[in-house]
């Protein structure tokens, strides 16, 4: 990992935190998240079940429906 990648990883973590994403969600998982710029790993997220995926999608959709009325 290069210094530039470390900075990019920290920037990504900061941005995700501003969106309310828990920092623990970006580390310790088995799925690598890679930068489209250079292909280096910037996070490691956990795999989740189909049920948890559906719940996340439903929550995002509900938030979108409320947001678009603003």
* Tens-level pLDDT at each residue, the chain (70 residues): 565 656 877 888 888 899 888 888 888 899 999 988 888 888 889 999 999 999 999 999 999 999 998 8
**DSSP character string of 3-66:** HHHHHHHHHHHHHHHHTT--GGGGSS-SEEEE-TTT--EEEEEPP--HHHHHHHHHHHHHHHHH
Domain boundaries, the chain: 3-67
């Amino acid at each position: 990992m290069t210094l530039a990648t470390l900075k990019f990883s920290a920037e990504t973590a900061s941005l995700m935190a501003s969106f309310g994403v828990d920092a623990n969600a970006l580390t310790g998982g088995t799925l690598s998240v890679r930068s489209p710029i250079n292909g280096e790993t910037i996070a490691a997220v956990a795999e989740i079940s189909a049920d948890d995926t559906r719940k996340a999608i439903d929550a995002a959709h509900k938030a979108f429906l409320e947001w678009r009325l603003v």
